[in-house]
Amino acid sequence: MAAAVPSGYAPPLPTTIFNPTPGTGFAPFTLRLRLRPRRAAAVTAAAATLREVCAGRVPDHVLQRAEEVGYVVPTEVQEQSLPLLLSGQDCILHAQTGSGKTLAYLLSVFSAIDFGRSSVQALVVVPTRELGIQVTKVARILAAKACTVMALLDGGMLKRQKSWVKAEPPAIIVATVPSLCQMVERRTFNLQSVRVLVIDEVDFIFGSSKQVSSLRKILTSYSAASSRQTIFASASIPQHNRFLHDCVQHKWTKSDVVHVHVNPVQPMPAHLCHKYVVCTKKERLHVLLSLLERDAPKSTIIFVAEQSERSKKAGNPPSTAVVVEFLKSSYKGSLDVLLLEEDMNFNARAASFSEVKGRGFMLVSTDIASRGFDLSQTSHIYNFDLPRMATDYLHRAGRTGREPFSRLECGVTTLITEDEHFVLQRFQNELKFHCEELPLESMFTFNS
């Protein structure tokens, strides 16, 4: 299925992923998967179960736990990637938000580790503390008590964790890049014993000036491991052919790495309903309030731009705080208004994150909540500020509609000024979705 890439081979870059040029040598790199949108209603009796897909490779007790929590039928990305992952192949998992990439790579982790061995055998690297908490939770559910899973996240108790790793090494570590680097630099554990390395939200980490050089160091150091498997995951991997080429060139992956690309022509989940409202910056808070009253979300995330350095220096309050304050005084519904942003201390971040679990929430957040957050009750997303890039739009929008086999329509509404019209149009062209205008008057008619 995936032929080896000759060493030193540099494929020409395609202009778009929608128009791959035949006969240019891309085929060995890329396993382009069938464009077969499949949701619950389309699952037939003949569809293989997760147990069948993983037969003989994933320990039975892990599969049993998976079934107990409701993972019975594989999602498309799981169905397509698991045969490759479970045979030890390096993989780039590239599939829509909410498509089930986490379970795919975790099952691969559980198939590779030796439950009787006392050493760190798998590492999952994530860009944020919050995503790390979430992935750790899923890994612990699947592991039950068969092995230990440690969360090595920013703001954690590194000193205590260091002793723990030395005295009783966990089989799996879920880590943020800075915490992992500290451990590796202090030689608390050796990457050479690691059998599986997963980098989740890989494009985000590569795009982060604070994290990219450390990640490169980790990947380079891991490339010397004798028995290794590297898995990258994200819903967006811009210039993925270039990325694949770099992986092979830098030996971050073996040369037969496979690009599992599900739904390449439809990066946005189809059941999201996109709307926009054109209003002035001054009108924005009242428009948001009106939308909340009209939509009555079950739970929602309101994305607000991060405060610029200039605005900080000028002593302005961040927009997140302004929105939270406004909603706390004006919103009369039942949802808890919560705040999450980078500049909060870790305790406050942890408190906000744990409060959103299980209750109706209205989370006002910067893009920190746009990656990996899996809160299935989120029915609506609001872009109070337009995201900077199309990929940011994709990940923000993907915080809703996260039940793989549900057809329930979920809403994404963006507030823009007249000048921002063309930016939103560019996002639509790039991500192949349609955004419908909600006339401003219609909202205030609703209010009166």
Ligand X SMILES: Nc1ncnc2c1ncn2[C@@H]1O[C@H](COP(=O)(O)OP(=O)(O)OP(=O)(O)O)[C@@H](O)[C@H]1O
Which positions lie near ligand X, rule CB under 6 A?
Answer: 50, 70-71, 73-75, 78, 97-103, 235, 372, 374, 376, 398, 402, 404
User: How near is the Cβ of 284 to ligand X at its closest, in Å?
Assistant: 27
How many Cα atoms occupy the beta-carbon half-sphere of 287 within 13 Å? 24
Q: Which residues contact 442 (CB under 8 A, 6 or more apart)?
A: none
Sign of CA dihedral 393, 399, 404, 409: negative
User: How near is the Cβ of 107 to ligand X at its closest, in Å?
Assistant: 10
User: How near is the Cβ of 262 to ligand X at its closest, in Å?
Assistant: 10
User: How near is the Cβ of 402 to ligand X at its closest, in Å?
Assistant: 5
User: How near is the Cβ of 390 to ligand X at its closest, in Å?
Assistant: 15
Cα 223 from chain centroid (whole Å): 24
User: How near is the Cβ of 134 to ligand X at its closest, in Å?
Assistant: 8
Closest CB to ligand X among residues 43, 344: 43
∠ Cα 46 50 51 (to 5°): 100
Closest CB to ligand X among residues 75, 161: 75
User: How near is the Cβ of 148 to ligand X at its closest, in Å?
Assistant: 22
Distance (Å, whole) CA 245 – CA 24: 14
Q: Which residue has the tokens 């599992």?
A: 260
Closest CB to ligand X among residues 130, 324: 130
∠ Cα 153 154 157 (to 5°): 75
Backbone φ and ψ of 391, nearest 5°: -65, -35
